Amino acid sequence: GAVVSQHPSRVICKSGTSVKIECRSLDFQATTMFWYRQFPKKSLMLMATSNEGSKATYEQGVEKDKFLINHASLTLSTLTVTSAHPEDSSFYICSARAMGHKAPKETQYFGPGTRLLVL
Amino acid sequence: LAKTTQPISMDSYEGQEVNITCSHNNIATNDYITWYQQFPSQGPRFIIQGYKTKVTNEVASLFIPADRKSSTLSLPRVSLSDTAVYYCLVGDRDTGRRALTFGSGTRLQVQP
């Protein structure tokens, strides 16, 4: 099946610094990628929808100036957490929709996630 | 979007069959039922999808009654590695068409 990677898998940073998380579709093109956030023992919550070549669409309550999303190519989307604070500590998961890929009925593929800890 | 209701948690033992039921009373005519599995510190993984009756693959079976207001994910002979959270979703057959709305899921704990 299609593979989505994320880098880094985990990151620890100091409060006030910025952290960039990469999401790559390894063997298919993804015009649309989604970014989710998941707190411990909670479900995934959509943060934003990232479309290649255009501005991301953010969910209500998600600060676009704090969570910068760039979808510069058909295989890469990045999420930058700016001026991170301890409350931003969470598990960030991206997913990608496979286009033109011989996939089963399910065509949204998830990355392995990035665990962010802000001290 | 059709709302889904699942048990919060379930416990089982290795070798047993586990059935997780999901209620979706407001499912639309065009909606499909999709189940995802999520291991700790990993992204969700597609398990199975169906529209009606029964669907079976190498991992699980999905039973959907005629009224489609519920569905049951059946995991045969679970092992410790099946310990995970299982999410039931209702929506497009193409799950990539839009972002997915995850409910609380069912946390399955398999004991030795």
| CB within 8 Å: B97 and A113 | no
pLDDT band at A106 (very low <50, low <70, confident <90, very high): low
In the beta sheet, which residues pair with residue A46?
A36
Q: Chain A contacts of B46, Cβ < 8 Å?
A: 104, 106
| CB within 8 Å: A108 and B32 | no
pLDDT in tens, B52-76: 999 999 999 999 999 999 999 999 9
Burial classification of residue A50, based on how many CB atoms lie within 10 Å of its CB (0-12 exposed, 13-18 middle, 19 or more buried): buried
pLDDT of amino acid B59 = 92
pLDDT in tens, A16-45: 999 999 999 988 888 889 999 999 989 999
pLDDT of amino acid A101 = 57
Which residue of chain A is at minimal alpha-carbon distance from B51?
A105
| CB within 8 Å: A43 and B104 | yes
Q: Cβ contacts of residue A60 below 8 Å, gap of 6+? A: none
| CB within 8 Å: B41 and A96 | no
Of A36, A108, A115, the CB nearest to B96: A108
pLDDT band at B1 (very low <50, low <70, confident <90, very high): low
pLDDT in tens, A40-78: 989 999 999 998 888 899 999 999 999 999 998 889 999
Which residue of chain B is at minimal alpha-carbon distance from A49?
B99
Task: Show the tokens assigned to A4.
Answer: 């989505």
pLDDT of amino acid B95 = 79
Provide the chain A residues 21-50 that lie in CB contact (below 8 A) with chain B: 32, 34, 36, 43-46, 49
B112/chain A closest Cα distance in angstroms = 23
pLDDT of amino acid A46 = 94
Cα A110 to Cα A58: distance, rounded to the nearest angstrom: 19
Task: Show the tokens assigned to B47.
Answer: 């398990």
